[in-house]
Structure 1
Amino acid sequence: MLGVAAATGLLIVFASWWAGPGLFGSAQAEATETVEATVTLPADCSRADAEETVRFELGGETRSGTLSGCGHDQDEQVEIAVPAESAPGLVDVQLAATAPGSHDLRRPVGLALLVLSCAAGGVYAFLVARGPRRPFAVL
């Protein structure tokens, strides 16, 4: 019984590892460049889908972009992530702190939690198969 539980746990772990990077988090992120930007047109947070306009320098030229967010002040400095392949004109940017990437710990932590849950299931199966223990006689 214990062997079946251990084999099932290993099968689940290997299947989730084989499923690829998308299971617990993206391993491939869009190539971005982090730059300092100045908020040129702040947005009020009372609007849904608020977007602010920012100005930044990329590759020696001054560019403008739209930042999905709100609450920044006029001329406030923010750090943004700009897509590496950006066309001329207005660029969609995001705050650098919220840009997705492979530098986070979602995948290894998720896989470790899966291994722990499989081990806990195996121990539970062992305890159920073993049955109740007799209490020791106290003299």
Structure 2
Amino acid sequence: MMRRLRWQSLLIPVLAGIAVVVIVWWAGPGMFGSVASNGGPVTEATVTTPASCSDPNPTETVQFQAGGQTRTGSLDACGHDRNNRVDITVPSDAGPGQVNVHLADVVAGHSDLRRPVGLALLALSCLSGGAYAFLVQRRTAALASS
């Protein structure tokens, strides 16, 4: 009878762990890292004002073509020289004036490894919780039989 009680009490943590992993899997890619943004088209830009990487918040100024006109953008990067060409992602909802842009390759591959590693760690934590529940149940059964 104790053996049957032990496995029945373990069924709840096992099912809860499986449910948590499945729910997080279905929640989408934004659960463990930012979703690769679909910020708009990728275009080539020219660095007009470079920034040193030793600055606290380096921001470079770039010029690019968007909608048939030359636009100025604020690029959150550093280490480029004047007149270097870089690929940037321009937001699709960019209004008039200076636009905040990002390097295209940084945005595209930002969270490739976070999701599988996060799900693996979540599954391990569920397994650890089930093992802890097993040990607590086993200790309780041992004390009850004494």
Query: What is the TM-score normalised by the length of structure 1?
Result: 0.70
Which string of whole-angstrom CA distances, capped at 9 and with x for unpartnered residues, describes residues 75-101 of structure 1?
111111110121132211111233278
- Which residue in the other structure is 2:98 paired with? 90
Gap regions ≥5 residues in structure 2: 1-8, 140-146
**Partner SS state of residue 35, structure 1:** strand
More helix, by proportion: 2
Report % sequence identity: 52
| 1:47–1:108 distance in 2 versus 1, CA, 3 Å | closer
User: In the alignment, is the contact (CA less than 8 A) between 1:29 and 1:102 conserved in 2?
Assistant: no
Deviation at 1:43, TM superposition (A): 1.7
What residue is the counterpart of 2:4 in the other structure? Answer: none
Cα distance per residue 1:94-113 (max 9 Å; x no partner): 11233278973433442233
Alpha-carbon contact 2:75-2:100 (below 8 Å) kept:
yes
- Separation in 2, partners of 1:17, 1:112: 11
In 2, Cα distance between equivalents of 1:103 and 1:31:
15
| Coordinate RMSD, CA, aligned | 3.1
Is the 1:27–1:101 contact (alpha carbons within 8 Å) kept by the matching residues of 2? no
Instruction: Tell me if the contact between 1:31 and 1:84 (Cα under 8 Å) persists in the aligned partners.
Output: yes
Question: Partner of 2:48 in structure 1?
Answer: 40
TM-score with structure 2 length normalisation?
0.67
Secondary structure class of the residue paired with 1:83 = coil
Report the counterpart of residue 121 of structure 2 in structure 1.
Answer: 113
Matches within 5 A, 1:1-139: 1-14=9-22, 16-17=24-25, 22-27=30-35, 29-99=37-107, 104-126=112-134, 129=137
How many residues end up aligned between the 2 structures?
Answer: 131
Of Structure 1 and Structure 2, which has the larger fraction of its residues in strand?
1
Is there any run of 5+ residues in structure 1 with no aligned partner, and where?
132-139
